[in-house]
A and B are shown apart, each in its own frame.
Chain A
Amino acid sequence: MKIKLLFLAFLFVLGLNSYGAKYITKTGYAYFKSHTDAIDIDGSNRNVAAIIDPATGEIVVIVLIKAFDLPLATAKEHFNETYMESDKFPKATFKGKLTGLEGKTLAVDGEYPVTAEGTLTIHGKNQEIKQKATMKVKNGEVSGSCKFQVNINDYGIVVPADVKNRVAQVVDVVVELSVKPQE
Chain B
Amino acid sequence: MFKNKKLLATIVVGGLLVAGLIIAYLFRPEKECVCNEKSQVELSASDLISQYETDENQSNGAFLGKVITVSGTVNSVKNDEKGNAIVELDGGSIGMVSCTLCKKESAKVELAAGSNVRIKGECVGYTIDVVLVKCCIE
By a beta-carbon cutoff of 8 Å, the part of chain A in contact with chain B is: 3, 6-7, 10, 24, 26-27, 29, 46-49, 51, 62, 64-67, 69-76, 80, 86-87, 90-91
Contact = CB atoms under 8 A, between A and B. Distances in A.
A167 to B, nearest CB: 16
Contacts of A49: 127-129
A7 B25 contact: no
Interface in B26-60: 26-31, 60
Given A3-B93, A73-B30, A74-B25, A46 B100 contact: yes
A76 B133 CA distance: 14
B128 A26 contact: yes
A73 B125 contact: no
Contacts of B81: 29, 46
Most buried by A among B28, B29, B86, B125: B125
Most chain-A Cβ atoms within 10 A of its Cβ — which of B65, B94, B122?
B94
A116 to B, nearest CB: 18
Contacts of B122: 66
22 contacts: A3-B94, A10-B94, A10-B95, A10-B128, A26-B128, A27-B80, A46-B81, A46-B82, A47-B98, A47-B127, A64-B124, A64-B125, A65-B125, A67-B125, A73-B31, A76-B30, A80-B65, A86-B64, A87-B60, A90-B60, A91-B125, A91-B127
B128 A24 contact: yes
B93 A6 contact: yes
Contacts of B25: 74
A72 B98 contact: no
Contacts of A46: 80-82, 84, 100
A74 B26 contact: yes
Contact of A47 (B27, B30, B60, B133): B133
Interface string B107-138: 00000000000000010111111010100000
Contacts of A65: 124-125
